[in-house]
Amino acid sequence: MMDFILRSQADAVIRMERWDERMEKRMEQSEKRMEQWEERFDKQQQKSDEAKADIRQAAKLIHETARLARNHEKRIRSLETSKRQSARRFEGMRDVVRILVRLGALEGKRLARLEKK
């Protein structure tokens, strides 16, 4: 009987050791999986950070381009208004020349009348 008890205890100890070994293997596997997951997560995080930096840089470039375009449009508008003003000035100068020509013609007619008298 004692032999049976010793044998069953030995079997229990062997089962317990095997169970411990299996649990250790499972723990090691889960730790490896966890490390792999952390590495993947770190890589994804790094890619995400790089993408965010690229997006920020692109946004800055877009804003800068928009600002330059607005300034360019303002410059074009101011040039157009100055062209209009100079065109008006030239039109005004034409009117002045016309008036001077008319005045010259009227003055010439007056002088001609005065000379005839």
Segment 19-29, tens digit of pLDDT: 999 999 999 99
Q: Name the pTM for this structure.
A: 0.47
Amino acid 77: pLDDT: 85
Q: Is residue 56's pLDDT more than 90?
A: yes
Q: Residue 34: which residues within 8 A CB-CB, separation 6 or more?
A: none
57 HSE (CA, 13 A, CB side):
6
